[in-house]
Structure 1
Amino acid sequence: MADKNQETMNQNDEKDEETEETVTAEVIDADNQESSEEKSSEDGEKPNQAELDQLQQERDDLNQQLLRVQAEFDNFKKRSQKEKESERKYQAEDLAKELLPVLDNFERALQTDVPDDTKSFADGMNMVYNQMKDALKAQGVEEIESVGKPFDPNIHHAVMQVEDEQADSEVVTEELQTGYYLKDRVIRPAMVKVNK
């Protein structure tokens, strides 16, 4: 029985030695594998100079493209803002152009001689006319002063030339139809007679 115990112990010792050799071999294999992975990862982390130059060029190109897009967007915002301001500034232009012939008719009607029995009616018409002019003035519509001023083709439309020795040359002598500004824009030039 002692022999059997001795034999079992010897077998256990042999198994322990085999296990140690297997573990040692596995540790060595693992170390070799780690060192080969480290070498390959070191190679992956250190790209060559050509790859670095290419990546830097791509980055620079993308930065330039981003700057161009930002500049275009800023320009678009500024242009949109200017268009909105211009639209607000001249929003009354269409309405003013529609009302100018009405003002002309009021002026013609008020220039006629009125009988005494319709004087109050004429006064009422005059009040309406003045109210309309005030409303347009509040929106920035102003009359162009022409008579006695030098002829300017930007604000005057010459329909006749006269010879008046008492007036200077190229000066407006008579206004046939009133011209109007809307703020700083001419919406209708004044129709005038000009001295030669």
Structure 2
Amino acid sequence: MAKDPQTPLDDELARQEQEGEPEQAVDAAEAVEGELEDIVDQAEGEAQAEAVEGGDNPEAEVLAARVEELEQSVTEAKDQALRAAAEAQNVRRRAEAEAEKARKFALEKFIKDLLPVVDSLEKALEAMGEDASEVHREGVSMTLKMQLDVLAKFGVEIVEPQGEPFDPQYHEAMAMVPNPEVDPNTVIDVMQKGYVLNGRLVRPAMVVVSQAAG
């Protein structure tokens, strides 16, 4: 028996599946289902006519083969549509995650360049002796506070682990000093503060760590 020729509907369904367009593939599948229903109705009518006439009907066999073929096409189109929709959702989620990551850490380089300014203000404030005027001290202190407030506004946190256990993820040990008064591996001095941007380390805290007395 000769195979029923390809119809424009078959061509459209194949094109939609190749392009991986989920919504259009679903539309094509629905169109095939519509054609399938029409052919099933026609086949039922032919079968009834055959039963009345009591003879063979070659056209009914062709229709039955076409029904089976269309059912397979519908199944494949639905499967393709589901896979394409799942892939599109995964791509969208990855894009959203990358965009969120870029938004959170876009200022990382700028903050690294700004930290030496904060360090200088802190050192200037510490170096002011008794002779420094109150106005001068207050001006430097207010400038430092403004800098720190801006950093905090954009998700920057200070790492100042005085008295805390040493954490190599956030601290950089500059020296190990025996100290029987505290537990080993305790931060006993912070030489330079560290900073974290939205949970990511921008600069480790430079610290002095205790060790057991020899």
Q: TM-score, normalising length from structure 1?
A: 0.69
* 2:127 paired with 1:112: yes
Letter in 2 for 1:98: D
Task: Quote how far apart the aligned CAs of 1:74 are.
Answer: 0.8
Residue 169 of structure 1 pairs with residue 184 of structure 2: yes
Amino acid aligned to 1:190? A
Mapping for residues 172-191 of structure 1, pairs under 5 Å: 172-191=187-206
| Partner SS state of residue 191, structure 2 | strand
Contact 1:157 / 1:191 at 8 angstroms: preserved in 2? yes
Once residues 60 and 118 of structure 2 are traced to their aligned partners in structure 1, the CA distance between those partners, rounded to angstroms, is 83
From 146, 149, 173, the counterpart of 1:131: 146
CA distance in 2, matches of 1:106, 1:44: 93
- The AA in structure 2 aligned to 1:82 is A
Q: How do 1:74-89 residues align onto structure 2 when only pairs under 5 Å count? A: 74-89=89-104
In structure 2, the partner of 1:69 is 84
CA distance in 1, matches of 2:152, 2:195: 10
Structure 2 counterpart SS, 1:47 = helix
Q: CA RMSD in A?
A: 2.4
TM-superposed deviation, 1:108: 1.6
- The CA deviation at 1:178 is 0.3
Aligned counterparts of 2:185 and 2:60: Cα–Cα separation in 1: 85
CA contact (8 A) 1:114 1:122 kept: no
Q: Which amino acid aligns with 1:125?
A: V
State percent identity of aligned pairs.
Answer: 35
* Aligned residue type for 1:69: A
List alignment gaps of at least 5 residues for structure 1: 1-38
Superposition map of 1:44-55 within 5 A? 44=59, 46-47=61-62, 52-55=67-70
Q: Residue deviations 1:79-135, cap 9 Å, x none?
A: 222222233333433322221111111112222134636553332122111111111
The question of 1:146 aligning with 2:185 is answered no
Q: What displacement does 1:50 show?
A: 5.3
Question: Quick one: distance in 1 between partners of 2:87 and 2:93?
Answer: 10
Mean Cα deviation higher: 71-80 or 178-187:
178-187
Task: For structure 2, list consecutive stretches of 5 or more residues without a partner in the other structure.
Answer: 1-49, 51-56
Cα deviation for residue 138 of structure 1 reads 1.6
Q: Which amino acid aligns with 1:194?
A: V
Cα contact 1:141–1:181 (8 A) shared by 2: yes
Normalising by structure 2, report the TM-score. 0.64
1:195 matched residue in structure 2 = 210
Q: Which protein shows a greater Rg?
A: 1
SS of the residue corresponding to residue 62 of structure 2 reads coil
Cα offset for 1:53? Answer: 3.8
Q: Deviations over 1:56-92 (max 9, x none)?
A: 3333222212111110001111222222223333343
**Amino acid across the alignment from 2:186:** V
Is 171-180 or 121-130 further displaced after alignment? 121-130
Alignment partner, residue 15 of structure 2: none
Structure 1 residues 105 and 117: CA distance shift in structure 2, 3 A: closer
